[in-house]
Amino acid sequence: MTEDRKPTTREKRNAAERVREAARDLFYRQGIHATGVEELCRVAGTTKMGLYRSFPSKDALVEALLEEQCESGEALYAETMALPDPRQRPWHYVEQAAALLRSPGFRACPMAIVTVEFPDPDHAVRKLIDGYRQVKRDRLRKMCAEAGAPEALGDTLLLLLEGAFTSAAYLGNEAAAESLEQAARALLTEAYGPREGAPAA
């Protein structure tokens, strides 16, 4: 494809998909600021012009990837809230987090990684992250309240989840997942009683 020819819709879509895939991997493994546009284009198999046709800026690409993370969180929340027994929902949410910790290649929460690289709370990227985290907090509080526990239990679960994701870097993923399960088991058993099929102590 020559630079002066207008790309087709298929070419634009494919370029955007390749850029997303390359950025998702590179940003997660080595950091956003450490990944240059030239390297990103090389891995994605496109040109700078091709990249900027799909995303007007590097920050816009970061925002697009964060929106993917938000969508995954939305899907998990919807799946959890679809469970018929409200008391099972906090357990399910914690179990899915532990499963994520155990997934191959997991090294940290992507949003936590991005937060470190964008310290300015007024930056559009940070506003997106901080807004989503507040929504997550509100949902956990609602989940716990609907299950018959104090809303504040949602805050405690949020701290456990974020602590597990952060500690995986030095504890190891399996140890972090086990610690999360053990701590959550103690809290949720006290609030709702033991759950059949919950991870054994």
Residue 36: burial class (beta carbons within 10 Å; 0-12, 13-18, 19+): exposed
Of residues 33 and 8, the one with the higher pLDDT is 33
Residues in Cβ contact with 70 at an 8 Å cutoff, skipping those fewer than 6 apart:
128, 132
Q: pLDDT tens digits for 14-32?
A: 889 999 999 999 999 999 9
Buried-exposed string 138-160: b where 16+ CB fall within 10 A, e elsewhere: ebbbebbeebebeeebbebbbeb
pTM reported for the whole predicted model: 0.83
Q: pLDDT tens digits for 151-181?
A: 999 999 999 999 999 999 899 999 999 999 9
Q: How confident is the model at residue 201 (pLDDT cuts 50, 70, 90)?
A: very low
Q: pLDDT tens digits for 67-92?
A: 999 999 999 999 999 999 999 999 99
Instruction: Please report how many Cα atoms fall inside a 13 Å half-sphere around the Cα of residue 81, on the Cβ side.
Output: 14
Spatial separation of the C-alpha atoms in residues 39 and 45, rounded to whole Å? 10
Please state which of the ranges 2-6, 77-81, 111-115 shows the lowest mean pLDDT: 2-6
Q: pLDDT tens digits for 115-145?
A: 999 999 999 999 999 999 999 999 999 999 9
Please state which of the ranges 29-33, 51-55, 75-79, 191-195 shows the lowest mean pLDDT: 191-195
For the chain, the average pLDDT equals 89
